[in-house]
Structure 1
Amino acid sequence: MSIARSGLIGKSTSAAAAVGKQLRLIKLQPVKRVVVTFDPFHEAAVNCRDFVFNITAPKILGTNPSCLIKTEIVCDRREPSISCLLNPEVAGSSGLNTINFKAGNLSCLELLQLYNKYITPLAPKEEAAIDAVDKKSNKLKKQGGKK
C-alpha cells in the first residue's frame, strides 16, 4: 500500500519565489541614486530593510555600477520611504526627476513590484548587443560558415 501524494508538485508559489521573480526583472540603469529612509523603531521598517538588502545584491548592482544606494536612518517615527533619482537621459524623456515610494503599508514584494512597474521600463533596451550578434552571424553566413 502506498501513500497518496499531497501538496504542490510544480514550482513553489511562495512569497520567496515571487520576490525572486521580481529581483530577476530589476534593472538599476535608469536610476542615478536610491535613497531609503526609515526609522528602525517603526513597524514597517523591516520591509524597507529587506528592500535595501535585496537591491544591494551584486547581480543587481552590476546592472548600473554608478548607481548610489544610500540608507538614511532617522529617529523621528517617520513613515519609511524610498526615493529614486533618475538619470538625466531618462528624466528628460519622461519629464520626471524623482520617483518616491511611501513604504509604510507596503511589503517588500510590493515595493519590488512597484519598482519594476514604474522604473524598470525606463531602462534602455538591449538591442545593441542583439544587433552585434546578428551582424556577426550574417557575416559568417556570407563567408559560408567559416571563421
Structure 2
Amino acid sequence: MDDDEIRSRFDGRGQVEISGGASVQERAEPIAYALGYELIRTERTRGCGRVFGLTAPVTVHLFFRRDDDPRARRRAERTIERLRAGGPVLADDEPPPAPPPPPGPPPPLVHRPPAPRPRRSMEPQPPPPAGPPRPRIPPRPAYPTPPPPPPR
C-alpha cells in the first residue's frame, strides 16, 4: 500500500481502518497524524499455516479515529492546503506525533469512617409471646388415612 492510497483513506470519516504489513504501520501513523487522526487500536494477526516452508506474514490492522481537537483540525487543514499546492503529505517542519503521556497516578485512597450503628430505642421492648410458637401448617397424621369403604 503506497502513501497516496493510505492518504486517500483519511477522507474525513469518523473512523478509519487500514490493514497491511508492518511497513504500512510505519507510514500510516505519521500520515494519519498530519491529517488529524489518532491511532486508537492496533491488532496483529498471523496468517494461517505455512507457505512454501516459510512462516506466514504478520498482518497489522490499524484503527484510527478523527481527532476533533482544534489543533488537530488546524493541522489537517494545513496538510490539505499543502497537498493542493502540490506539496508532500508530511512537512519537514512538523514534528512527528508524540507518544501519549503516561497515565497519571491513581487517586489517593480516602479513609471513610465506618457507618454508625443504629441506636436502640429507649422505649421498653414488648414482652416475648407466652408459650411455644404456633405452627403455621398443621402437622401430618402419624398414619395414612384409611381407604373409603367399598360400595354396596
Bigger RCO (CA 8 Å, 6+ sep): 1
TM-score (norm 1): 0.24
Please say which structure displays the higher CA radius of gyration: 2
Bigger fraction of residues in helix: 1
